[in-house]
Amino acid sequence: MNHKISKEIFKKAQKYIPGGVNSPVRAFKSVSREAPIFACKGEGAKIWDEDGNEYIDYICSWGPLILGHNHPKIIAGVRDAIELGSSFGLPTKKEVELAELITKCCPSIEMVRLTTSGTEATMSAVRLARAYTNRNKIAKFEGCYHGHSDALLVKSGSGLLTDGYQDSNGITEGVLKDTITIPFGNLKELNNILEKKNIACLIMEPVPANMGVIYPDVEFLKAVRELCTKTGTLLIFDEVISGFRLALGGAQEYFGITPDMTTLGKIIGGGYPVGAFGGKSEIMQLVAPMGRVYHAGTLSGNPIAVRAGYEMLTYLDENKETLYKELEDKVKYITKEAKKSAEKYGVNVVINSIGSLFTVFFTDKKEINNLKDALSSNTENFAIYFNTMLENGIICPPSQFEAHFVSIAHTQEILDKTLKVIDMAFKTIGE
């Protein structure tokens, strides 16, 4: 496969953009490649790069594209919206309809405020939790990623983990000391922290997907809920990935656990920039202009992005009876067959999956349940896997510590083609 044009663009990109990319994992640094591929087109489960190469896509824009690229319903809505104007800086009717739809699909959200990214959603949710509880400290789990606001870039997952560090420079000591981190699944330590430290909120990915996918123990989630209630700590489910993905009502519906607040992003924008934070009215009423917790945005509730999100959520709502099961079945099939290939070649892997997400951990461990486990992975083997897939027309997340995303556009034929290449990759690793 020829990547001449992508390499040329990357050379120029590095002159004008730090690292040549606008989000670090996109540089393909951790998978030992000279340059990333520069994408130029997507259709269904496939994308094309500037060199004209075609790939089956398991990045799916890191989550928003649960219907695949360029879904006709979303394109039609976006075309409609574009004709009417790009942005008004005034409220629009569709924002209200999107908010109503979110609250209908996710009943723990009684009121919701739209943002332009998941980062803004989590940042604002934390600020709101501090104001509501009148407490300063917050807690999060190691290896979970909640966007790139200062308070949440502590023992973080995603791109930081990929590039081998977890705390960003440039954050004041004061901010760092107010964020307490706990290993995922460690109830004893969580209990200790919540009991003693007067914590405003615990923010968590109910299904961690930013250190690779971790399947949470439902008893752990229930205990977390109880501990938060007992200690007056607000429980924030960061469902930027899991929202509208595991079920229409996200992980909270999937596991039957009700958080106090929820943050959303990715899918709710249908591939356009939308995030949201919401929860009980009693809490949300503190947001300006009702209350004095400030949140604003020139492009918050942008009409085009909102229309894309509205079309996306309407589609998911109309098809919820079959769509989520179908997605889960696709992932069950691919992970079951991939495990067989791994066994055949004696490659030690743990494949964690839930709903339409999965991660292949190259590890000798029997289970991957937290950051420490995830860090046991052999990232060199992951790089071989990634590069074999890429050279054979399949683009996976360029990091051991991320999720593969499956969409409804991933047909049986596409899954079977993927499995053939996974088999080749495992064979190479096993040799």
The residues annotated with a catalytic role in the active site are: 145, 238, 266
User: Near ligand PLP by CB under 6 A, which window of 31-39, 79-87, 88-96, 145-153?
Assistant: 145-153
Binders of ligand PLP among 27-66, rule CB under 6 A?
62
Give the binding range for ligand PLP (CB under 6 A) out of 34-42, 44-52, 79-87, 140-148. Answer: 140-148
Contact between residue 307 and residue 314 where contact means Cβ atoms under 8 Å apart: no
Q: Which of residues 227-266 bind ligand PLP (CB under 6 A)?
A: 238, 240-241, 265
Nearer to ligand PLP, 42 or 265 (CB): 265
Minimal distance, residue 425 CB to ligand PLP, in Å: 25
- Selected from 6, 30, 108, 119, the binder of ligand PLP by CB under 6 A is 119
Residue with smaller CB distance to ligand PLP, 145 or 358: 145
The reply on whether position 117 binds ligand PLP by CB under 6 A is yes
Please, which residues have CB within 8 angstroms of residue 9's CB and are 6 or more apart in sequence? Answer: 35, 38, 50
Instruction: Verify cis geometry, omega within 30 degrees of 0, for the bond prior to 259.
Output: no
User: How far apart, in whole angstroms, are the C-alpha atoms of residue 281 and residue 383?
Assistant: 47
Toward ligand PLP, which CB reaches closer, 240 or 347?
240
354-366 per-residue burial string, b: 16 or more CB within 10 A, e: under 16? bbbbbbbbbbeee
CB 30 within 8 A of CB 379: yes
Give whichever of 146 and 295 is closer to ligand PLP, judged by the CB atom: 146
Q: Least separation, in Å, of the C-beta of 141 and ligand PLP?
A: 11
Stretch of residues binding ligand PLP (CB under 6 A), selected from 115-123, 176-184, 280-288, 363-371: 115-123
Smallest distance from ligand PLP to CB 412, Å: 28
* Alpha-carbon separation of residue 409 from 46, 58, 232, 282, 414 (angstroms): 9, 11, 43, 40, 9
Element at 204 (helix H, strand E): strand 199-204
**Span from 49-57, 116-124, 222-230, 253-261 in contact with ligand PLP (CB under 6 A):** 116-124
- Return the biggest CA–CA distance within the chain: 64
Is residue 175 exposed (0-12), middle (13-18) or buried (19+ Cβ within 10 Å)?
Answer: middle
Residues 426, 422: Cα–Cα separation, whole Å: 6
The reply to whether 402 sits near ligand PLP by the rule CB under 6 A is: no
Q: How many residues bind ligand PLP (CB under 6 A)?
A: 16
- Quick one: which H or E segment has residue 413? helix 412-430
Q: Which of 166, 210, 352, 353 binds ligand PLP (CB under 6 A)?
A: 210
Q: 324, exposed or middle or buried, with CB in 10 Å at 0-12, 13-18, 19+? A: buried
Query: Site mask, ligand PLP, residues 273-292, x = CB under 6 A?
Result: --x-----------------
Chain position carrying tokens 């046991």: 376
Contact residues toward ligand PLP (CB under 6 A) are 62, 117-119, 122, 145-147, 158, 205, 210, 238, 240-241, 265, 275
